[in-house]
Chains A and B, each alone.
Chain A
Amino acid sequence: MNKGTFKGGVHPYEGKELSMDKPTVKLLPGKELVYPMSQHIGAPSKPIVAVGDHVLMGQKIAEASGFVSVPISASVSGTVKDIKPTLTVSGSIVDAIYIENDEQYTPIEGLGAKRDYTKLSKQEIRDIVKEAGIVGMGGAGFPTFIKLTPKDENAIDYIIVNGSECEPYLTSDYRMMIEEGEKLVDGVRIILQLFDNAQGVIAIEDNKPKAIEHISELVKNEDRIRVQVVRTKYPEGSERQLIKAVTGRKINSSMLPADAGCIVNNVDTVISIHMAVAESTPLMRRVVTVSGDAIVNPQNFNVKTGTKYSEVLEAAGGFKVKPEKLISGGTMMGLGLFDVNIPVTKTSSALLAFIKDPMLLVPEGPCIRCGRCVEACPENLIPQMMMEAAERFDDASFEAISGMECMECGSCTFVCPAGRKLTQSLKQTRRSILDNRKKK
C-alpha cells in the first residue's frame, strides 16, 4: 500500500513498547474531583451549580459562555464542595468546581440510553456533540462542534481520523483502536452522516500493525470508510502534515483544514462522538498513558475527568526512583509538570516520568549552522535564521521569513547538535508577536 507522508520530520525514540501491549485499566477516582473551567480553547465555561448542590454522574455542571466554548459534565455523583481557582497543567490558575465523590456513581436520567442516530437530523447531531462538551482530545482542545460546522459542508470530502499517535511513549489512541475499534468506526459513520460528499479515512502510522489490521477488518464492508497507512515519523499526527500525507493537499497556518476539504479528528474524540450520539454519554472520561522509565507499571488508564494525576500515578505503581522530569503529554510537545496534584482534563493524554532529564545531556553551545533543523522542519522553514531573529528581538525579520508558520513541534530542538533551544525561543517570539497583534 502506498504510505502517505510529508517532507522533513524526525524519528525520536518511541518508547511505546512500555505500555502498548497492556490492556487499558478502568480507574475509579478518589474522594475529591476537580473540574477546571478551561479544558478547551476559547472562553472558559460558566458554572451552573452552586456550593452544596448534589450532582449526578453525567450532569452538566458548567455551560458554554460564548461561541468558542463548551459545557462540562460531572463524571461522578456527589456534592459540590467549592468553586475556587486551581492550578492546571499549563501552569495557569483557573476557576474550578470541586466535587466530593459519594462513590455511588448515580447516573443522571437517560445516561447511556441507546439512540438510533440515523434518524437524527444534522443539526441534532451537532447539538448533541456540543452539549456533550466534546473537544479535540489530541491536545489542542478545540471545540468539536465548530469543526463539524464548516461554512460549506458540501465542500468537505475527507473526514480524517488521526490515529497516527506520533508522540513518543503515548499509546492511548493505539489501545483505543484495538479495544474500541467498533465505536471508532461507528463514530466515523456519525460524522459522515453530516457530510454527504465525504469519505472517512482512518490514518494509522505503520508502527502499529495490529491496529491497522484490526481497523481494516472492521471497515472492510464500509463503502465510505478506509484505512490509510502513513509513515512512522514525527510529527505525522500534526493536522497540516496529516492532511498532506492523506490527501496531498497543503494548508498554511492561516488556513483551516476545511479550506482543503478536510476535517481532522483524534481517535478519542471520534469515540467520544459515538458515545455522545449513540449512547447519550457526555465527555467525562479519557484514556491516559502513564509511562516513562521512572514508572513502576507503565500502562493506560481509562480515567474520569477531574481525577488527580497523583491518583493515576499511584494506580501505575508510583515511581521506581524519584524522577528528574515529569511531563503531561508526549516528550515532543508535552508540558513539564512541577506538581502531580493537578486534575486530569479532557485534553490530558499522558503522564510521563523520566529518571534523568534528557534535555540536560547535551550542553548548549554555539550554532554550527549544520542545517539539521532545516532538514527536520516539517514546515519547510529555516529555524536557525528564525532563532537568530528571535535572539535579536527582531520581530519584523522573524515574520518576513515566515516565522509565524512554525507550529512548535520541537523537531529543530530535538536534532540540534549544539543543544540549542530553538523551539523554545521560537515559541516565545511567536507568543509575543501574537500578543502585540492583539494590542493593536
Chain B
Amino acid sequence: MKDLYNVSASPHVRSGVTTRSIMRDVAIALIPASAFGVYQFGFKAFLVLLTSVASACVCEFLWKRFVVKKSTPYECSALVTGLLLGMNLPASVPLWIPVVGSAFAILVVKEMFGGLGQNFMNPALGARCFLLICFAGRMTAFGVEKASSHFMNGAAAVDGISSATPLAVIKNLEAGQSITGSVSLFDMFFGFTGGVIGETSTIAILIGAAYLLAKKIISLRIPVAYIATFSVFVVIFGGYGLSCDGFYYLLCELCGGGLMLGAWFMATDYVTSPITKGGQIVFGIVLGLLTGIIRICGNSAEGVSYAIIFSNLLVPFIEKFTMPRAFGIVKKKKGGAAK
C-alpha cells in the first residue's frame, strides 16, 4: 500500500484554519475580559471561571464516553462554552452553580441535539438563563462589601460594590435624580462596576473583539447591526431623546450589562447565527429590537441573554428569507427574497 499515491477529488489544498484554531482564537480573545474580571472580583472569580471550564470539558468527555464516540478535545469548543458561561456568572456564586450550568450547557443544550454544530441556541446563554430562572437570588448577587478580603474579592473590595448594577440604577432612578450624577460612565467603560465576571469592562471586551476581527473570525455584520439598532431604539424610546442626558444614557446602556459581551462574543456564535450574509444583518436588527424592548419596556434591567437565545430560535426562519441569489441569476418577477 505504501507504494500507492493518495488519489482524491480536487481541491488538494487547505487554508490551514481549523475548528481548533478558531476556538483557540476565541478563547484568546476572551482573555482580556476574563482577566479584568479576575482583577475586579478577585480569586473567587478565578475559581468560578476555572470550575466552569473544567466541568464543561469533563461533561463533554463523559458524554462522548457515554455515546461511544471518539473524544474530540482538539476542537476546544467545550473550553469556549465553559469560559463564556463562567464569564456570565457573578463571582459570588457557590461553586456548584458553574458545575450545574456547564452540565446543562454541554449535555442538554449541545450534545442532546447532536453535539457541536447542531445546537439551536447558544449553550452558555442557554445555561445562564436556566440558572437565572432556577437560582435567581444567587445569580443576581453582585454586591461586594467594602474592605472585605482583597484577595478573594479583588478590586471591588476596595470601594465596595452595591448589589444593584449600573443598569438597574438608571432604570430605577427616582424623580429628580440626574442620570449623570448617579452612575459614572468612566467606571462603566473600564469596568469598575458590579455585574457578572466577564461583562463589566467594555474596553477589555472591545480589545478581544478587535482581535477576532483582525483574525477574520467574526465579521462586523451582526455586532454593528445589533448595536446600531439598539442605539436607535434607545434614542427613540429611552425617554431622554437626543439631549445631552440622552447621549449619556445611551452610552450607559451600551457599556452596561451584557450588551458588549453579547454583541461581540455571543450573538456572533457561528452555530446559532444565520449563515447568510443578509440574514446576519437581519439577525442583528432583531437582536437590537428585542434587547431594547426587554430593557426599556420590560421589568428587567438586563435583556441581552434572553434576546440572544430567543433570536437563536429564529435563525432557520431568517435564513430561509435571506437566501442570496446565485451569481448571474436574474431576479424573477415574483419572489420573496429580502436581499
A interface list, Cβ under 8 A from B: 6, 10, 12-13, 168, 240, 244, 250-253, 255, 323-327, 329, 331-338, 354, 357-363, 365-372, 374, 378-382, 384-385, 401-402, 405, 408, 410-411, 413-419, 421, 423-424, 427
Contacts and interface: CB of A to CB of B under 8 A. Distances in A.
A342 B126 CA distance: 58
Contacts of A414: 11, 13-15
Interface stretch (B57-65, B136-144, B237-245, B322-330): B322-330
Interface stretch (B89-97, B112-120, B163-171): B112-120
Nearest to A381: B326
Nearest to A333: B10
Contacts of A419: 14, 18-19
Nearest to A322: B3
Contact of A325 (B12, B22, B72, B324): B12
A240 B329 CA distance: 12
A424 B273 CA distance: 26
B9 interface: yes
B117 A374 contact: no
Contacts, number: 160
Contacts of A423: 9-11
Contacts of B75: 365
Interface of B: 4-15, 17-19, 21-22, 72, 74-75, 77, 115-118, 270-271, 273, 275-277, 280, 319, 323-329
Contacts of B11: 331-333, 410-411, 413-414, 423
B19 A418 contact: yes
A306 to B, nearest CB: 23
Contact of A368 (B7, B271, B280, B327): B271
Interface of chain B, main secondary structure: loop
B217 to A, nearest CB: 8
A369 B5 contact: no
A401 B320 CA distance: 10
Nearest to B328: A252
B10 A334 contact: yes
21 contacts: A12-B13, A240-B328, A325-B5, A326-B5, A331-B10, A331-B12, A332-B13, A336-B5, A359-B12, A366-B115, A366-B117, A369-B270, A369-B275, A371-B275, A372-B17, A379-B326, A381-B327, A382-B275, A413-B14, A417-B15, A417-B19
A222 to B, nearest CB: 30
Contacts of B270: 368-371
A368 B10 contact: no
Given A326-B5, A332-B11, A336-B9, A369 B117 contact: yes
B317 to A, nearest CB: 14
A417 B22 contact: yes
Given A325-B6, A379-B327, A417 B117 contact: no
B74 A363 contact: yes
A405 B326 contact: yes
Contacts of A10: 15
A417 B276 contact: no
A311 to B, nearest CB: 18
B19 A337 contact: no
A361 B5 contact: no
Contact of B275 (A6, A374, A410, A416): A374
